[in-house]
Amino acid sequence: MVDEEFREDFPALAEELIEERTLTHRIDGVRTMSDDEPEEKREHKTFLPDVVDYIRRCDTVSQAIEIVDYLLSRDEISQSDARDIKSQLRQDGLRSFGAKKEKDHYLHHGIEPE
């Protein structure tokens, strides 16, 4: 009925099965996650990539400059930031912003600061 490996892994449960008795425990309450809980109690992690996050996914300086121009056109970065970023790209290169982030980077490494 109960094999030896099961007995070694789960001795108390095996004993209950062999003796055909089960232990019972009273449950006084159940804790659930409700949609009614206040927003501050729920733990949400959101991540909004910035210009450097996008640049670190690029393969070429021209791709990075295109991203900078796009973010500038959407007013997500200032004119002076765009100028500084482009200058750094031309002078120091693409990887001066950090190592390349590959596809699914956040699935493997999460969203915590590096």
Separation between Cα atoms, residue 70 and residue 67, nearest integer Å? 5
Average pLDDT over residues 10-23: 82
pTM above the 0.85 mark?
no
Sort 7 into a burial class: Cβ within 10 Å, 0-12 / 13-18 / 19+.
Answer: middle
Judged against a pLDDT cut of 90, whether residue 45 lies above it is answered with no
Separation between Cα atoms, residue 38 and residue 59, nearest integer Å? 43
Q: Which position has the higher pLDDT, 66 or 25?
A: 66
